[in-house]
Amino acid sequence: MTHLSIPVDETFKIAQDYTSCLFYGLGSDGTVSANKSSIKIIGDATGQYAQAYFQYDSRKAGGTTRSHLRFGKNPIHSEYYVKNADFISCSLDTYIFKFDIISNLKVGGTFLLNTNMDDATLIASMPNRMKHLLAEKKARFFVIDANKLALEAGMGRHTNTTLQAAFFYLNQQIMPYKEAEEWMKKFAKKTYEKKGMDVVQKNYDAIDKGAQGMREVPVDPEWIKLDIKKVIEDTGDTYYDEYVSVIDRLDGDELPTSAFLKHELADGTMNENITFRQKRAIADRVPLWNPQFCIECNQCAFVCPHATIRPYLLDEKEVENAPEVVKAGLKPAIGTADKTLKYRIQVATMDCIGCGLCVSECQANKVALMKDPKSQNLALKMVDAKSQFAEQEGATVHGSLRCLRRLRRSSLLSPRQPALRQRHARRQRDRLLLDLLRLHPAHPVRQR
């Protein structure tokens, strides 16, 4: 503010006599809990000094978490973020496209990524900046498919135990893995014994799989020659591009005071109706609609907590102009006066959080599974998210408007229905209204 600041040497690194680790996790995926357990294990088992600090974003579940951990033989007085880490772990592979993770890695450090991509796909997809930094820092790069391993161990979506074992396996300078394994299993027994020995056994299996399920991806020294320009796609919304997007990339600390003043946010407020631009892509599995078995009940849209699965009605002209992927998934609309209308359920896969509520509430699925618990005739089922990212939103303004009208007429809005359902219906209607305003600012619906 006074323009008297001392210039900062960005290359300056503080000498450290401890091991520092940085973990990028997804809010509620268990990364923070696993790290809390790791510091207890290391503190108790090795007698080392341990320091931990956890950063969360305001969304908590589904947001980004960062865990800053340090371990050493001497007292640790580093009251700042880990920026020169010996080890970095990333629980979600889509983060590598969004965040500048490797710039926080020390020369000779280790990077662990949780991904289901094979080496060729991963290397082809990795941003140049990441490859360049891995080569420049002579890093060791490991990958693990913790989601698959956790599923095999019976742990469902909880990858934290598997990733914790991988962390100990790759950081044997802190403590030998055999010892860490015993401590992890002891902790798992203490925590889950009350839930039964089968739950404890699942944790044991997840630990074993975590240590054995990693592979090293060779870092090509030639990657250092790659151009490392930061490519940021602008949306055209100045507020989003200059302010929200910077915070979303975890670069909010770099925002100058003028950015707050420019957008009149000096009191810390944020503008509304902006999350639809984020496209967080945090789900590893998303619903896939099969028109053949759908009964057009719209229950999937009503239960979705993020309004990311929606029903649409398209007229002939819209069908004609629609992308091939939309044309391939249409069915005649039921219960409309206009018999030419087509119906489609559309999932915004990059906004979906993968909770699976729509699938479990799908009325067609319920009937099919009641008749045959192993039935494959499902209108909605969860599939790998990456296979669906290319097939983003086929929505149109007119389709949204028709759907909105239909929701207004819906019997779920009847006063006889439970209050909770009415709230869901209203929320769905409001989201559709927002959609219309965003896509078509001059639409008459705005004037109401």
Between 16 and 417, whose beta carbon lies closer to ligand SF4? 417
CA distances from 209 to 113, 127, 153, 182 (A): 15, 29, 8, 15
Contact code string over 333-362 relative to ligand SF4, x by CB under 6 A: ------------x-x----xxxxxxx---x
How far the first Cα of the chain sits from its last, in Å, is: 45
Is 295 an interacting residue with respect to ligand SF4 (CB under 6 A)? yes
Query: Smallest distance from the beta carbon of 283 to ligand SF4, in angstroms?
Result: 6
Helix/strand/coil percent split, the chain, to 5: 45, 15, 40
Pairing of strands 64-72, 18-26: antiparallel
Residues 378-397 contacting ligand SF4, CB under 6 A:
379-380
Q: Which residue has the tokens 């945090």?
A: 282
Q: Contact between 289 and ligand SF4 (CB under 6 A)?
A: yes
- Cross-strand pairs, 110: 87, 140
Number of H helices, E strands in the chain: 18, 12
Total residues in contact with ligand SF4, by rule CB under 6 A: 27
Q: How far is the CB of 371 from ligand SF4 (least distance, A)?
A: 15
How many C-beta atoms surround the C-beta of residue 356 within 10 A? 17
Structure tokens at 212: 């054995």
Is 14 strand, coil or helix? coil
Burial of 45 per CB tally in 10 Å (0-12, 13-18, 19+): middle
For residues 206-245, which are near ligand SF4 according to CB under 6 A? Answer: none
Contact 378, 371 (CB under 8 A): no
Q: For residues 284 and 296, which CB has a smaller minimum distance to ligand SF4 in the complex?
A: 296
Among 109, 127, 210, 287, binds ligand SF4 (CB under 6 A): 287
User: What minimum distance in Å lies between the beta carbon of 155 and ligand SF4?
Assistant: 19
Q: Which is nearer to ligand SF4, 154 or 356 (CB)?
A: 356
Report in angstroms how near the CB of residue 380 gets to ligand SF4 at its nearest. Answer: 5
Q: Which 3 state secondary structure label does DSSP give 272?
A: coil
Task: Give the nearer residue to ligand SF4 in terms of CB position, either 170 or 350.
Answer: 350
Closer to ligand SF4 at the Cβ: 165 or 314? 314
In the complex, the smallest distance separating the C-beta of residue 434 from ligand SF4, rounded to whole angstroms, is 16
- Among 108, 112, 110, CA closest to 137: 108
Residue among 200 and 294 whose Cβ is closer to ligand SF4: 294
Tell me the per-residue interface mask from 133 to 162 with ligand SF4, x by CB under 6 A, - otherwise.
------------------------------
Of 34 and 281, which has the nearer Cβ to ligand SF4?
281
Q: Which of 36, 37, 131, 146 is nearest to 91 (CA)?
A: 146
Closest CB to ligand SF4 among residues 157, 185: 157
Q: Does 107 participate in binding ligand SF4 (rule CB under 6 A)?
A: no
Q: In whole angstroms, how close is the CB of 441 to ligand SF4 at the nearest point?
A: 27
Give me the phi and psi of 86, to 5 degrees please.
-75, -30
CB under 6 A: which stretch of 58-66, 89-97, 172-180, 294-302 binds ligand SF4?
Answer: 294-302
Distance CA 445, CA 448 (A): 6
- 148 has which bridge partners? none
**Nearest Cα to 445, choosing from 406, 397, 407, 386?**
397
At closest approach, how far in Å is the CB of 370 from ligand SF4?
A: 14
Task: Give contact residues for ligand SF4 (rule: CB under 6 A).
Answer: 287, 289, 294-300, 304, 306, 308-309, 345, 347, 352-358, 362-364, 379-380
